[in-house]
Structure 1
Amino acid sequence: MRTKSEERRQHILAIAAEVFLQVGYEKASMAEIAQRVGGSKATLYSYFPSKEELFVAVMDLSAERLMGTVFDLLLRPGPPEEVLREMGRQYIKALLAPELVAIGRMAIAEGDRSVVGQLIFEKGVMRGWSLVRDFIQKILDERQRSDVDPMIAAWHLKALLEAELREPRMLGATRKLPPDAAVREVAARAVTVWLRGYGLEDAPRPRRPARRAGT
């Protein structure tokens, strides 16, 4: 059962999310959020010491709602390629959701002006992709591969999953969410390229036919 304090915190986060999405991070003020919440700024600051911390908490809540189960898919049994494809599909779908797109745009805009970007990277991005790193480490251990840095390999996989659809979505070049079949194909391509690049594909490569004598 939630305590009144926790209910209050969740109410603040819901109101803050509305304000950030409506006016953007820079124009949003703690005074405006406190007014909409129905309390004083002092009360608001007792929950969140700064606007940066409040924004990151809003981001965490949104990410948990949209991405909360994405990295849990890595715990499923099955061939690594299948597990990564399904994780990739769900990751792309969450990444393109309007709420995360809006938060991502605000975080990028604030990158050089505040610690928001740094906090999101450390508390959000790193947290999820460290789980991918651990999954990759298990694959490497099974193949007795010590020549690959699993964190770098995770960043490469992330880049491939985002390569086709994220930038057009972030820039507003595409406004509609792609159909699930298209997302599935994008994820499959990304994982295939990643596995081949690291020489981790399960299926053996087709053998070239032997050359005949005299040819």
Structure 2
Amino acid sequence: MRASTEKKRTRIIEVATELFIEQGYKDTSLDQIVSICGGSKQTLYRYFSNKEGLFVEVLAHNTKISLESVFQLADKQNEPLRETLEDFAKKYLRGICSN
């Protein structure tokens, strides 16, 4: 996938994430997402088959980000467990509070 295509796709996922959190799945429309992102509904449908497909990608994207944080902590094998767990808790809470 080209960089500009991936950038657009990621932007759609980020906007959809925010709207799903703020308004819920049911009250978020694809028109709202397109309005914020720019472009067209056709572009959105090219990346995601429908609203449900977009929601699945939102979940996958955010799960991947969360897991990356966990794997970064696994690399800290030489640090004391307490420090590692505190670091994880801080990152986890930052993630929750930012969404």
Under a length normalisation based on structure 2, what TM-score does the superposition of the two structures give? 0.68
The answer for the alignment partner of 1:95 in structure 2 is 92
Q: For residues 85 and 59 of structure 2, what CA distance do their matches in structure 1 show?
A: 20
In the alignment, the residues of structure 2 paired with residue 53 and residue 25 of structure 1 have an alpha-carbon distance, to the nearest angstrom, of 12
Give RMSD over aligned pairs: 2.9
| 2:71 counterpart of 1:71 | yes
| Residue of structure 2 equivalent to 1:148 | none
In the TM superposition, what whole-angstrom CA distance separates every residue of 1:106-145 from its partner, at most 9, and x where no partner exists?
Answer: xxxxxxxxxxxxxxxxxxxxxxxxxxxxxxxxxxxxxxxx
Q: Structure 1 74/18 Cα, relative in aligned 2: closer, same or farther at 3 Å?
A: closer
Gaps of 5+ in 2: none
Higher relative contact order by CA 8 Å / sep ≥ 6: 1 or 2? 2
Alignment of 1:43-192 (within 5 A): 43-65=43-65, 68-78=68-78, 82-83=80-81, 85-96=82-93, 97-99=96-98
Over 3 Å counting, the alpha-carbon distance change for 1:91 and 1:60 in structure 2 is: farther
Instruction: Kindly provide the amino acid, as one letter, of the partner of residue 95 in structure 1.
Output: Y
Q: Which structure 1 residue ranges, 5 or more long, are not aligned?
A: 101-215
Pairs aligned (count): 96
Q: Deviations over 1:183-214 (max 9, x none)?
A: xxxxxxxxxxxxxxxxxxxxxxxxxxxxxxxx
The equivalent of 1:182 in structure 2 is none
| 1:32 maps to 2:32 | yes
Give distance in 2, aligned partners of 1:61 and 1:31: 21
* Amino acid aligned to 1:45: Y
Q: Percent same amino acid among aligned pairs?
A: 34
